Structure 1
Amino acid sequence: MSIEVKSISKSYGSQKALDAVSFTISKGEIVGFLGPNGAGKSTLMKILTTYISADNGSAKVNAFDVELDQKSVQKSVGYLPEHNPLYLDLYVREYLEFNAGVYSVSKSRIEEVIELTGLSNESHKKIGQLSKGYRQRVGLATALLHDPEVLILDEPTTGLDPNQLLEIRRVIKNAGKDKTVFLSTHIMQEVEAICDRVIIIDKGKIVADRKLDNLIQEETHIIMVEFNSQVDENLLFEMPNLLSAVNTHDFVWDLTFATSEDMRATVFDFAAANNLKALQIVNKQKNLETIFREITK
């Protein structure tokens, strides 16, 4: 097992950041770690990379205990923190050479990660001259430098333009062929494009942990309906199996039903029974963003 987390808890004063969090990640998995701001994502990542200690519970990375064998954990993990710390006065190649010395890796590996992360044309520049997107690449290159078995990436695509996003997705996906990747992001399309599995945390607790395909194909579906006038939200819940009702704009609602049955006829009958007209009724494809809103609402 690449990552084992057992009943990890962490508080900052009276605020509980993590509340008895447990999960395991097998070698070769690419796992997306999702949650609202302040849910505890970065705190857990810092515990797994030995930057901070948990109050209770235990965690292992590559079978090394994060409290008892910190050096071994650090050698086997590549970590890109949310706020990427860089020496802005150093040149890209100079910075990577410095980190190569820390990890005792060969200079040939520097050239490999420069090529791998698309930094070839920027490697002669000072880091302070780079755009935010290219600074992220330098951070990712540093995380990959010592060829770690586990990559822990906290918001790895922050500040990247659409073309850079595609390139970094490719890098992370390729890395996942022989490494374990544990990444947090607020970009749902990122998770859908890269990850095999999703763990969702809310208010310090794990609220979902499933394979991505299984999570999206659950026995629920969404109908978008436009009425001819406003309708009381409470009235909508007279319809059977209705899980949630979101008024997206004007008289348009997204209705989520806890069934795989086509509920359009039910919505039509509801409108007729309440002197409403359904101007359009459309089945919507459920995506990760919708599921995330439902789970963390």
Structure 2
Amino acid sequence: MSLLCKNIAFTYSGAENPIFADVSFHLSTPGFHSFSGPSGVGKTSLAKIIAGDITSYSGEVSTNGLQTILYSHNKERLPGWSNVDRHLNQVILPSMRSQKDELIKIFGLSDCIKSRFDQLSMGQQNRVNLIRYLLQDCEVLIMDESMSNVDESTRENIILAIKAMFPHRYFIYISHNVMEVAKFCDSILVFRTNGKASPVVMIKGCNIGKGEILSPAALDATLLEIMNAS
């Protein structure tokens, strides 16, 4: 199974120039991968093309055995009147309820699981929403700023837990936190600006997992590569 994008180009309706053109890359192994770059370069648009939410593009997207691709973002509406635990039990697979309890604990949501969504902070709502997606039957999950309004320590614990619990799933992690992307992602698709010849370049991330120690020198080298590629 793999994800291949070849010569993808996309233009907003009514715009004269494409937001990006000739984007090609190949993800051949499961794990955490990332789209990196400033706002407005097309990260979300490319994610929606891959998920099938945008169809007005040119080029080729080949999923090669990846049958279900889900797109999660941080602005999704949740039923404010609903009890969190009851809602999760209604929308997740019954076979994954034991994983639900584990994720609730890791995500720091144990104290609010009996609350309504409208009683939660934005960070808590985003974490619950992410659990909804993690506990679906999919091969690829795109996480578009899915953990915004969540503190850094909790985000890192969540990423490490996801990597350990779902080792055979592909994740595309979209975040403006370059340090986080460099530490935890396997491959990083950097969207380039300033008219450089290639619109994107793929960087190898540090890809640390649970219990692994990150080399400061390796992190510095990855951050420098990302900066030079931008």
Into which bin does the TM-score normalised by the smaller protein fall? 0.7 to 0.9
Q: TM-score, normalised by structure 1?
A: 0.63
1:239-260 CA-partner distances (Å, limit 9, x unpaired): xxxxxxxxxxxxxxxxxxxxxx
Matches within 5 A, 1:1-297: 1-12=1-12, 13-63=15-65, 73=67, 76-100=68-92, 105-106=93-94, 108-117=95-104, 118=107, 119-203=109-193, 206-212=199-205, 286-296=220-230
Q: TM-score, normalised by structure 2?
A: 0.79
Contact 2:33/2:173 (8 A) holds in 1:
yes
Contact 2:37/2:190 (8 A) holds in 1:
yes
1:181-201 CA-partner distances (Å, limit 9, x unpaired): 111111122112311111101
Stretches of structure 1 lacking an aligned partner (at least 5 in a row): 65-72, 214-284
Contact 1:200/1:208 (8 A) holds in 2:
yes
1:28-81 CA-partner distances (Å, limit 9, x unpaired): 2321210111010000111111111142112133536xxxxxxxx4xx223312
Identify if the C-alpha distance between structure 1 residues 17 and 156 changes in structure 2 by more than 3 Å, giving closer, same or farther: same
Contact 2:69/2:142 (8 A) holds in 1:
yes
Distance (Å, rounded) in 1 between the aligned partners of 2:141 and 2:165: 8
Q: Which amino acid counterpart does residue 3 of structure 2 have in structure 1?
A: I
Contact 1:133/1:164 (8 A) holds in 2:
no
Alignment coverage as a number of residue pairs: 210
Distance (Å, rounded) in 1 between the aligned partners of 2:37 and 2:138: 26
Distance (Å, rounded) in 1 between the aligned partners of 2:224 and 2:63: 32
Stretches of structure 2 lacking an aligned partner (at least 5 in a row): 207-218
Q: Which amino acid counterpart does residue 198 of structure 1 have in structure 2?
A: I
Contact 2:183/2:205 (8 A) holds in 1:
no
Task: Decide which structure has greater strand share.
Answer: 1
Question: Aligned to 1:79, what secondary structure does the other structure show?
Answer: strand
Contact 1:10/1:19 (8 A) holds in 2:
yes
How far is 1:290 from its partner? 4.3
Distance (Å, rounded) in 1 between the aligned partners of 2:77 and 2:20: 24
Q: Which amino acid counterpart does residue 22 of structure 2 have in structure 1?
A: A
Contact 1:173/1:194 (8 A) holds in 2:
no
1:88-116 CA-partner distances (Å, limit 9, x unpaired): 2222123323423xxxx32x523422422
1:213-251 CA-partner distances (Å, limit 9, x unpaired): 5xxxxxxxxxxxxxxxxxxxxxxxxxxxxxxxxxxxxxx
Identify if the C-alpha distance between structure 1 residues 145 and 62 changes in structure 2 by more than 3 Å, giving closer, same or farther: farther
Distance (Å, rounded) in 1 between the aligned partners of 2:30 and 2:204: 14
| Superposed CA RMSD | 2.4
